[in-house]
Chain A
């Protein structure tokens, strides 16, 4: 399988983009052929990603595998360098699989204006950006993939998003949600990544002080980071800060999160799913891949601050959820809280915390992805997402209600389901943060985070009670609804299974990540 070692990963990245181009070779009218093509392409991509996972040597998951390094832009020393290790592998598989499920779900769920080819092409382009970010081992390449997701998502939200109008107090005028959300998403992210880029360039120039030539190569920079080459002075502080802006907007961490509720709520169902399940992880993954190993001293210095923003996010997200009247917006805000746990795990700077953040990312991807699918399907049937108008969903659609209840339980962190591990382990990590960080401070974070889990349970159960339980409202009482349909089952069943499997046997994720994060913590912080 030598060929697979050398091209498998590249195919995982570029096959979707090739598929997007191929879509335009098909006539516009042949929608079924287009769907089939997208299905085959994302299916193959998922198979390739799983193939990578199957051939991955878990005995040395701290090492980059399936590495490819080719000359790319010699003028600036940027190389086409890709590879996976135990940290990126679960995210790559998650990304490839969720994209496939999104295509399956799309099969008979199209938003207006109907344009199957355009929508699928954007989705495939998005997949290339997402998969590429998780495997890129060169800062320039990383930057390109990180930004590649912007345009497709911008168009996805702006064209197929929610056309309702809302008054934005800050702007003092009424806007169409999809347009507002799309440009807000774009500008926030670009603002962050412009500074991230400056940070990357600064690292590039500084690396020349230690190496024969300046480099964008992530493993080479990590090796420098392990020797603490970039130190803890003003330079490192500014670089960490610049990259922090880029990544924190993407996660998003409080107070950079304000684009998220709008974007998630306004996006078409599949867009919300991909945003929540994958795009948010690009930011938190970047902390683990770039910020921490390259600038460990600064990571240690920034950790209390990151932890603080994380717990504020947890509490803020939960409280905001309690105030939401729109199911989708509620799920969106819940992401702020859940990503808060992910970031709290990272902020502890320990292997336990890193593990927590990774399993938290995967779990959040599966669970929140599924929640957005459910919200989309329910909106499709009820034509409203107002919690106050819904009710008795369980009676109207027993399967749908059941899955919603299951997912909400997973989301609130019920032991035995995937969501539990991320929250539990990140609180556990906060109990004993990295030596040198204030234990009492992180233990305070832990307590606040624990309160957050209670609040999470509170709003999830309250939502469930209002939407699922009770008698159907009068307006729905004598209507009949299609319960979960075939394509929905096909798209959701793998998520449900994965949530249970990871919940019962977290080793499927931790088996890949543990050695890698232990190694990350050791090389970055010693001991």
Chain B
């Protein structure tokens, strides 16, 4: 087999890092375990380098191998960069969090980078098998990570729920994929694309498409396949939740994009309406439920369900039009949203970690008046939560803006209706995001809550992660093209098959 090692370098570096972390974990005495964290962080940073060399390489734009089943093109590179940067930020947030735990450290980093490796594979996958292997590599370690706090019953519940529904969704996905293969006779997206138009009227084929969509629906926590998310998010260690809501979710969206744009562009009439419904339900139910949450992690869980709904919106736009420009713009909107969402949501979770360090609680009311004793955390909280709400000049506005832009371009009554639903939801979302801002800034410090005097909320690596995300959210709000748009423009090659 002819492998392009340059193209595979990021995956190879991450795989090597896995081995190094594993070895270090075995070799090092307990007091030196922190080296595993260092190795993991360093490994991911090194893995980012070949992405740059590949991006600036004059060679072929798209490096294809394994019979076209594994491709490194602009889409893959951009999404890999998102996964690596996102994973890097999660690792930074994990360091202080895991240190304060009494659990064993090495395997945490091992599992985390294994999951990241899976997402890198997914971005390049161009056939069903690679896609599936990548997806399982993403999800498998997360089952274990969700149950990281073995003594905590919530953490156990989180892992169990996640596992059972994860396996269920995998089964559904695999079932759908097997039908796709059986009907089209091909596992590559290319082959499926060519066979699809002839099968468009077949009931079995429709069912196959629906099953695969539903399978990914679980991964992106689209309503009504979201049940596992709130409990899992709440029970899992916060950095793992951050990764679940960003890394693993983005992986789900990558799968959906590949499936919709590469494999099934000819049958938009099947997946378009499905995703329209999922988008409308996710936005509306996610937001309405988030309104009633008192726990900030649970609130973020529902908020991320709603944000997932916003990300699904452009799919519906692509589905009603055959105009390549519309489809590319929809793809670009999804990628912009994913990039900006990754930074702002990770930032929001960073604030949760910092806030929990300071107050020892993730109940929103316990954070009242935080600006009086932790002004920096309060400022960051306002930045990320209002960015999630889409208030200019924070980056979130551009994500929502391109989402609206893509959905309104096809002059169609259904897409316009979805735009109106999204607009109303954008306003509803403000209510709960603003509530956190209100609590931190406008409520008096509750009596009885003694801020932990000795705990500094912003320590080394967490402060670094929050600094990076905050800078991005500020800069991308003012210069959205330079920080997000340009990457999305590159990555819309994913629609190349159309």
Contact = CB atoms under 8 A, between A and B. Distances in A.
A259 B487 CA distance: 41
A143 B392 contact: yes
B392 A144 contact: yes
Contact of B423 (A72, A198, A202): A198
A144 B393 contact: yes
A155, A182, A190, A191 — which one has the most chain B CB atoms within 10 A of its CB?
Answer: A190
A385 interface: no
A201 B486 CA distance: 21
A312 interface: no
A201 B434 contact: no
A148 B477 CA distance: 11
Contacts of A183: 431, 434, 438
B481 A75 contact: yes
A205 B409 contact: yes
Contact of B427 (A75, A147, A187): A187
A237 to B, nearest CB: 14
Contacts of A154: 434, 437
Interface stretch (B128-136, B288-296, B348-356, B396-404): B396-404
A197 B392 contact: no
How would you classify the secondary structure of chain A's contact residues: helix, strand, loop or mixed? helix
B408 A186 contact: no
A195 B424 CA distance: 9
A76 interface: yes
B235 interface: no
Contacts of A140: 401
Contacts of B391: 147, 150-151, 190
A150, A154, A191, A202 — which one has the most chain B CB atoms within 10 A of its CB?
Answer: A154
Contacts of B388: none
A73 B392 contact: no
A158 interface: yes
Contact of B404 (A150, A186, A198): A198
User: Which size bracket describes the interface of A in this complex?
Assistant: 20 to 34
A198 B434 contact: no
Given A75-B332, A144-B392, A148-B392, A198 B442 contact: no
Nearest to A176: B442
Interface string A67-94: 0000011111000000000000000000
A182 B442 contact: yes
Contacts of A205: 408-409, 411
Contacts of A187: 427, 430-431
A412 interface: no
A179 interface: yes
B393 to A, nearest CB: 6
Interface string B375-409: 00000001000100001110001100110110011
B438 A194 contact: no
Interface in B472-488: 479-481, 485-486, 488
Given A144-B392, A186-B434, A198 B481 contact: no
B70 interface: no
Nearest to B407: A201
B419 interface: yes
Given A158-B442, A159-B441, A198 B408 contact: yes
Contacts of A147: 391-392, 397
Nearest to B480: A73
B420 interface: yes
A178 interface: yes
Interface in B406-436: 408-409, 411, 419-420, 423-424, 426-427, 430-431, 434
Contacts of B382: 151, 155
A197 B442 contact: no
Contacts, number: 84
B397 A144 contact: yes
Interface in B321-357: 332
Contacts of A151: 382, 386, 391
A155 B426 CA distance: 20
Interface string B180-195: 0000000000000000
A150 B386 CA distance: 11
B489 interface: yes
How would you classify the secondary structure of chain B's contact residues: helix, strand, loop or mixed? helix
A49 to B, nearest CB: 21
B402, B442, B489 — which one has the most chain A CB atoms within 10 A of its CB?
Answer: B442
Contacts of A190: 391, 426-427, 430
B39 to A, nearest CB: 37
A76 B430 CA distance: 25
A155 B441 contact: yes
Contacts of A148: 392-393
A194 B488 contact: no
Interface in A143-192: 143-144, 147-148, 150-151, 154-155, 158-159, 178-179, 182-183, 186-187, 190-191
Contacts of A75: 332, 402, 481, 485-486, 488-489
Contacts of A194: 423-424, 426-427
Contacts of A150: 391
B438 A179 contact: yes
B397 A198 contact: no
Interface string A128-140: 0000000000001
A195 B423 contact: yes
B391, B392, B408 — which one has the most chain A CB atoms within 10 A of its CB?
Answer: B392
A21 B423 CA distance: 32
Nearest to B428: A187
B405 A76 contact: yes
Interface string B242-266: 0000000000000000000000000
Nearest to A143: B392
A519 B448 CA distance: 65
A10 B419 CA distance: 33
A60 to B, nearest CB: 32
Contacts of A201: 404-405, 408
Contacts of A179: 438, 442-443
B325 to A, nearest CB: 10
Nearest to B420: A198
B481 A72 contact: yes
B317 to A, nearest CB: 12
A22 to B, nearest CB: 15
A140, A194, A195 — which one has the most chain B CB atoms within 10 A of its CB?
Answer: A194
A370 B479 CA distance: 38
A198 to B, nearest CB: 6
Interface string B440-483: 01110000000000000000000000000000000000011100
Nearest to A202: B408
A186 B430 contact: yes
A205 B443 CA distance: 44
Interface in A189-212: 190-191, 194-195, 197-198, 201-202, 204-205
A359 to B, nearest CB: 31
A247 B430 CA distance: 19
A151 B332 CA distance: 28
Contact of A158 (B408, B420, B431, B438): B438
A179 B392 CA distance: 21
A191 B408 CA distance: 18
9 closest A-B pairs by CB: A75-B485, A194-B423, A158-B442, A147-B392, A144-B392, A73-B481, A191-B427, A201-B408, A190-B427
Given A73-B480, A74-B485, A187-B431, 15 more contacts: A73-B398, A75-B402, A76-B401, A144-B393, A144-B397, A151-B386, A154-B437, A158-B438, A159-B442, A179-B443, A190-B430, A191-B427, A197-B401, A197-B404, A197-B423
21 contacts: A76-B405, A140-B401, A144-B392, A144-B393, A144-B397, A148-B392, A148-B393, A151-B382, A151-B386, A154-B437, A179-B442, A183-B431, A183-B438, A186-B430, A187-B430, A190-B430, A195-B423, A197-B423, A198-B408, A202-B408, A205-B409
